[in-house]
């Protein structure tokens, strides 16, 4: 298993271009199942979750080709099967995104139940309830969700809690349903808006994505489309923190600043300088950033996917930062690893109380999930001596060539095979 070795103490400088958003590319690949005509996606990040999705689509009889770097062409004309097997869902929960499209296109879907993961229980009850309201017959047997429907019909659906992939799944199901679907209390995440843009380009009739109420008028069939995936706001945020925590000065190119304002505002609150100019964001760290508390919320609030990275930064800020995690019940696994590096962090239920600044020292640490891994890399960048981050496969699921790109900014980081 690969590891990353980081020798801390370098102020990062230079510029880095943001990749396409993993969490927008995944639903976009699932959406290609809705049409027998090929869909071409540009700006797809070459990360392992995309490779897993490619494998999943291939299992369904779908042709997925990579005509050029970061472009994926998906031809679901030969869609022959409708099962997402346990072996794939187990490695990537987002596989559940094929449930809505498969059911809408073929009238059948058999998808392994994802089960819990390192950050929480993560049920998919809202996905299932919504599909049932659209007329699907759903049974759970042998660890699989088995759904059938002659043709889904439009329904008025209220999510009892905001869910990103739940909104995406039902949106994809609704575009081919008979009649109108209203999705209330929908997720506002920019990735939902990106998916709606793709679906509209494929001929769907969708209104209101990015607001709590999405209206979809179902159509008989969709055609092909070509779509450029939005930039990754979490990757951009991770680079912002890398610049800030190392007291460096870096420029992030190709970002969509409007999608990461809460992260930008939080860093500004600590005194870090962040300047936005079109799709460029410049971040300059300061010698003594102030502690600032952060509470994760659904978009446009502070993202749970930035919480771990921000915690690494908080260890270097002056004062007490209270970090409250509202979205997932178990997303503080990085805290104990940061403590092993010398951080002062106390967990009280959903709150992590971080006292800073502390001198971090390099250690052997374990990435428990994708963002926890990013947090440990960031801590390693400021720690004294060498940090070895184990279980880098978590990072490889969602960051493209992270070590190379941090290396270009001056970080001393290498992959150990």
List residues binding ligand EPU (CB under 6 A): 23, 26, 94, 120-127, 161, 163-166, 191, 304-305, 327-328, 370-371, 398
Q: Considering the complex, what minimum distance in angstroms separates the CB of residue 120 from ligand EPU?
A: 5
Mapped onto helix, strand or coil, the DSSP state of residue 61 is: coil
Separation between Cα atoms, residue 33 and residue 39, nearest integer Å: 9
Give min distance, CB of 48 to ligand EPU, in A: 12
Which of the residues 37, 113, 117, 182 is marked catalytic?
Answer: 117
Beta carbon nearer to ligand EPU, 146 or 329 = 329
Helix axes 333-340, 370-382, angle to 10 degrees: 20
Smallest distance from ligand EPU to CB 385, Å? 28
Residue with tokens 């905001």: 162
The label of the residue with tokens 């909104």 reads 167
Name which of 32 and 291 has its Cβ closer to ligand EPU.
32
Look-up of token digits 């927008």? 24
Residue 318 designated active-site: no
On whether the CB atoms of residues 407 and 413 are closer than 8 A, the answer is yes
Angstrom distance (rounded) from CA 374 to CA 317: 18
Cβ nearer to ligand EPU, comparing 162 with 291: 162
| Alpha-carbon span 272 to 94, nearest angstrom | 34
Give just the sign of the alpha carbon dihedral 167, 172, 178, 180: positive
Tokens, residue 350: 């959903």
Complex with ligand EPU: residue 48 or 165, whichever CB lies closer = 165
Read off the tokens for 92: 């990537």
Question: Is the Cβ of residue 187 or residue 360 nearer to ligand EPU in the bound state?
Answer: 187
Residue 324 · residue 332 · CB < 8 Å:
no
Sign of CA dihedral 392, 397, 399, 401: positive
DSSP for residue 149 = -
From the centroid of its chain, how far is CA 267?
20
Which residue lies nearer to ligand EPU by CB, 12 or 25? Answer: 25
> Helices 164-174 and 190-201, interaxial angle, to 10°?
10
Separation CA 127–CA 129 (nearest Å): 6
d(CA 39, CA 26): 13
Q: How far is the CB of 195 from ligand EPU (least distance, A)?
A: 10
Instruction: Give whichever of 21 and 79 is closer to ligand EPU, judged by the CB atom.
Output: 21
79: CB partners within 8 A, 6+ apart: 33, 36, 60, 61, 62, 105, 106
Residues with catalytic roles: 117
């Amino acid at each position: 298993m690969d590891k990353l070795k980081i020798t801390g103490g370098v102020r990062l400088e230079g510029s880095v271009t943001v990749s396409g958003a993993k969490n927008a590319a995944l639903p976009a690949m699932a959406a290609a199942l809705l049409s027998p005509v090929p869909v071409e996606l540009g700006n797809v990040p070459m990360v392992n979750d995309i490779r897993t999705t490619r494998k999943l689509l291939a299992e369904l009889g779908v042709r997925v080709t990579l005509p050029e770097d970061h472009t994926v062409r998906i031809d679901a004309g030969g869609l022959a099967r409708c099962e997402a097997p346990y072996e794939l869902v187990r490695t990537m929960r987002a596989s559940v995104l094929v449930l809505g499209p498969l059911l809408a296109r073929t009238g059948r879907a058999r998808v392994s139940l994802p089960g819990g993961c390192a950050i929480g229980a993560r049920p998919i009850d809202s996905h299932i309830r919504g599909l049932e309201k659209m007329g699907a017959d759903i049974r759970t047997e042998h660890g699989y969700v088995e759904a059938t429907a002659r043709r889904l019909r439009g329904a008025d659906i209220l999510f009892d809690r905001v869910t990103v992939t739940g909104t995406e799944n039902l949106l994809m199901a609704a575009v081919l349903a008979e009649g109108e679907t209203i999705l209330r209390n929908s997720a506002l995440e920019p990735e939902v808006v990106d998916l709606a843009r793709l679906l509209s380009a494929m001929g769907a009739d969708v209104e209101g994505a990015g607001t709590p109420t999405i209206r979809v008028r179902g159509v008989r069939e969709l055609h092909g489309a070509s779509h450029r995936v939005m930039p990754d706001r979490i990757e951009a945020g991770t680079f912002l923190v890398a610049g800030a925590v190392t007291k460096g000065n870096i420029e992030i190119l190709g970002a969509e600043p409007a999608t990461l304002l809460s992260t930008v505002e939080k860093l500004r609150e600590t005194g870090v300088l962040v300047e936005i100019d079109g799709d460029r964001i410049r971040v300059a760290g300061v010698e003594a950033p102030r502690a600032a508390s952060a509470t994760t919320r659904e978009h446009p609030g502070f993202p749970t996917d930035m919480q771990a990275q921000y915690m690494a930064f908080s260890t270097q800020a002056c004062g007490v930062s209270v970090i409250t995690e509202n979205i997932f019940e178990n997303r503080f696994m990085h805290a104990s690893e940061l403590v092993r590096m010398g951080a002062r962090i106390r967990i009280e239920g959903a709150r992590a109380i971080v006292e800073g600044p502390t001198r971090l020292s390099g250690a052997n640490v374990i990435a428990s999930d994708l963002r926890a891994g990013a947090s440990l890399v960031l801590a390693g960048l400021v720690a004294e001596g060498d940090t070895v981050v184990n279980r880098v496969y978590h990072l490889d699921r969602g960051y493209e060539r992270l070590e190379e790109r941090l290396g270009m900014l001056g970080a001393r980081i290498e992959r150990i095979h």
